[in-house]
Chain A
Amino acid sequence: MNRSGLTSRTMWGAAAVVALAVAALLPDRYASFSKPVSMAVITTVQPLSEPLHKLSASLRQHVDQPLEAVQGVQLRDKVLELENENYRLQWKVSQLEKDISALQKLDSQLGDRSFVYRRAAVSGRSADPSSNTLHLELGARDGVGAGMVVVEGAYLIGRVGQVGHVASTLDPITTAGTHVTAVIGPFSASGSGVVIDTLPLAQFDADGSDRLTAVIARSLPVQVGDAARLKDPAWPGAVHGWIIGQVIAVEDMPDDLLRKRVTIQAIMSLRYIDAVTVLVPSRGAAPGEGATTAVPLAGATKEGAP
């Protein structure tokens, strides 16, 4: 009897397991039979579970606050990190915008497209304290050649000196012993309204500092603040009219009543230049006389030009 009862229980158990397995594996459309029972169970539990849930919801608000605070700290750190990255990128963008602006200005000034503009970082300065030569991170590999004009913004800086494969030197226009012819006229960075052929010429000599001096006729209308613009046949015509300095002093010469001394100072301080633009002739034009015949400045015109 006991044995048969045990067998019967086992059979019932096995049948229950099989029934549960079948029910568990029923397709969705046949599994809805348990829905009323299920809802009954949920409804039965609801009187106790609902207040607990409301309580838990109110508790959760307090519990969540520290969690949010932690998340807030993490977010703040992330924001700071992104801000730093943003500042770094903004700085890079501003540098690139500066380069683009300089190149666009050059483009408008050198309208004939005779030059390719090569942006060159200044990598150093000559170790000899008597030399103010700068090192550029451009060389023959980049098409840079000796004597090419180096500018920055609207200002003429100098010429390329020695050229290596990947580096070169910049001889500023203020290098001692440099002789350069320029005209002196009203200062205008854009060159608008300046007719360089009508302006008085002067032969400037560099003394090794950032200044150049010239002796001109006392009758010429030159005053402090005027700009000295290149007009030297030894330089490419395309850069004629470019500013090489600003008049900082006009002095009478006691031993020469007919002349006066004009001192100009380079506007761009070489000490703070981090990059310059090298004008590389685009069609292999030699960087010398007659290399190009471009309009010198957007607003500055030669005499007789429209």
Chain B
Amino acid sequence: MRWWVFAILAYLLLALQVGLADAMAWESPYGPVAPRFLLLLAVLVGLWASESVVFTAWGVLGLLTDLASPYAGGLHLVGPYALGYLAGAYFILQVRPMLFRRHPLTIASMMMVSGGAIHLVVIVVFFTRKILGYPLPDWSAGDEVMLRLLILLYSAAVGGVLSVVLVRMVPLFGFEVSKVAGPSRPRRRGEPA
């Protein structure tokens, strides 16, 4: 994978996520629901890149998310999203051999599923912090579950649309497709094995 392509896209999508959050957010009873663009890049990498690259890329994206997520009271935590993204990477690596990677619905559904793994880990981390006696202010596990579920739905919907463009950019990443197992189209006559 060409890491500089990944870095530029990560930067753009993080800026979009941070900058357009207010524009695209809608209010829910549990809090503002805004799409997560970094998850789209993660899923794209997760579907196409080799296993080690996937873990590394997802770890980096998780760290970026952590670092771009200040909490109330000036708290900055490193770890919740990084761990979550690693869990998501593991999950997507397990299921991707069964997926048709180019289909927008695949990307949308993977955003839902692997994103669910990410947010589950994040909630577990925050819940553990609560048990340990240093919770986030006004943090409620029930509300968080609902809010993050809505965020995933929204992100999947937006990501499904954007994936139409991003999938066409896959050659730019220079993925080593031969290292990635998955359903393959029938070989044409005369095509090398």
Q: Which residues of A contact B (CB under 8 A)?
A: 9, 13, 16-17, 20-28, 31-32, 34-35, 37-38, 40-42, 44-45, 48-53, 55-57, 59-60, 63
Contact = CB atoms under 8 A, between A and B. Distances in A.
Interface in B57-77: 59, 64, 66-68, 70, 73-77
Given A9-B52, A24-B83, A41-B64, A52 B19 contact: yes
B19 A51 contact: yes
B12 interface: yes
Interface stretch (B96-104, B127-135, B177-185): B127-135
B93 interface: no
Q: Is the interface of A mostly helix, strand, loop or mixed?
A: helix
A42 B68 contact: yes
Contact of B23 (A13, A50, A55): A55
Interface size class of B (residues with CB under 8 A): 35 or more
B79 A25 contact: yes
A23 B63 CA distance: 12
Interface of B: 11-12, 14-16, 18-24, 52, 55, 59, 64, 66-68, 70, 73-80, 82-83, 86, 125, 128-129, 132, 134
8 tightest A-B CB contacts, nearest first: A24-B79, A56-B23, A52-B19, A49-B19, A48-B15, A41-B67, A23-B79, A49-B18
Nearest to A29: B134
A24 B24 CA distance: 29
Nearest to B62: A20
B78 A20 contact: yes
29 contacts: A9-B52, A13-B55, A21-B125, A24-B79, A24-B125, A25-B129, A25-B132, A31-B75, A31-B76, A32-B76, A34-B78, A37-B78, A38-B66, A38-B68, A42-B18, A42-B70, A45-B15, A45-B18, A48-B12, A49-B19, A50-B19, A52-B16, A52-B18, A52-B19, A52-B20, A53-B22, A55-B19, A57-B22, A59-B23
